[in-house]
Amino acid sequence: MTDTAAVHDLTDPAADPFAVAEAAAEVIRERTGAARHDVALVLGSGWGQAGDLVGETLATIDNTDVPGFAKAAVEGHSGTMRSVAIGDTGRRALVYGTRTHFYEGRGVRSVVHGIRTAAAAGCSAVVLTNGCGGLDPEWMPGTPVLISDHINLTSATPLEGATFVDLTDLYSPRLRAVAQEVDPTLDEGVYVQFRGPQYETPAEVRMARTLGGDLVGMSTALEAVAARHVGLEVLGISLVTNAAAGISPNPLSHEEVLEAGAAAADRCGRLLATVVARI
């Protein structure tokens, strides 16, 4: 079975990432007993507990059992995916407890593998969540903000070859309207994906603001591009876990990120659960 092993290694240039996604979706079907999933949910920093409110977990799979997935590299992220009943709608959510970040150096194919797998598993929409820095000083740690658009500063792309994809309305106006119906106090902002893993300097945060950004983070944009390419509707929600560097006088810490997530879990959980049920 050496052939299969090679094909499932996304860092091997000979691999076909879409074939690996098909293989992953097949394992998900076997292990969950669900012929299809409907909505995928990626839980970022601070969103771990929020996922629990979406519905009953019907199956939990270790990422390491699924082709192309690696175990979690960040503390506070869980290295599993779950099949969750969406309330009593009869539909299923595929909930990723963690994501692969670009800064891990496993390549862009690994970063977007969960998205391609979700599409192969039948999903028609994905909710991308993240923890990020906020550029608006009014956004206290623990404030969820809808992503209206993004600026990709990674200088990477998940698309290969002459794959021209239109990104107008990448962050679905329809799904944003649903989220704002659920919580009319939700602000929107432009998310700027930096490569990381270092946080920005205050000068880089000023640059992001000059470019039109409102939120700074290390994920989401590459996944959103891959999602559009495979036809998924995208909703992005950031949890502002800290003021971006230079916005507040305090230095940034990962502990602050985890605390803000725990404090906001209830609000974010109810938001996510209600929005996912209405997708």
Q: What amino acid positions are annotated as catalytic residues?
A: 200
- Please check whether residue 125 is in contact with residue 215, taking contact to mean a CB–CB distance below 8 angstroms: no
Cβ at position 6, least distance to ligand 8IG in Å: 34
Cβ at position 258, least distance to ligand 8IG in Å: 9
Residues found near ligand 8IG in the complex (CB under 6 A): 45, 131-133, 194, 196, 199-200, 216-218, 241-242, 244, 252, 257
**Which is nearer to ligand 8IG, 24 or 132 (by Cβ)?**
132
Residue 249, CB-side half-sphere exposure with 13 Å CA sphere: 0
Cβ at position 134, least distance to ligand 8IG in Å: 8
Cβ at position 153, least distance to ligand 8IG in Å: 10
**Which is nearer to ligand 8IG, 94 or 257 (by Cβ)?**
257
Give CA–CA dist 228/171, Å, rounded.
Answer: 9
The contacts of residue 253 (CB under 8 Å, 6+ apart) are none
**Which is nearer to ligand 8IG, 116 or 150 (by Cβ)?**
150
Give CA–CA dist 185/177, Å, rounded.
Answer: 12
Tokens 């969950």 -> residue: 32
Q: Which residue is nearest to ligand 8IG (CB)?
A: 133
**Which is nearer to ligand 8IG, 25 or 244 (by Cβ)?**
244
The contacts of residue 4 (CB under 8 Å, 6+ apart) are none
The contacts of residue 207 (CB under 8 Å, 6+ apart) are none
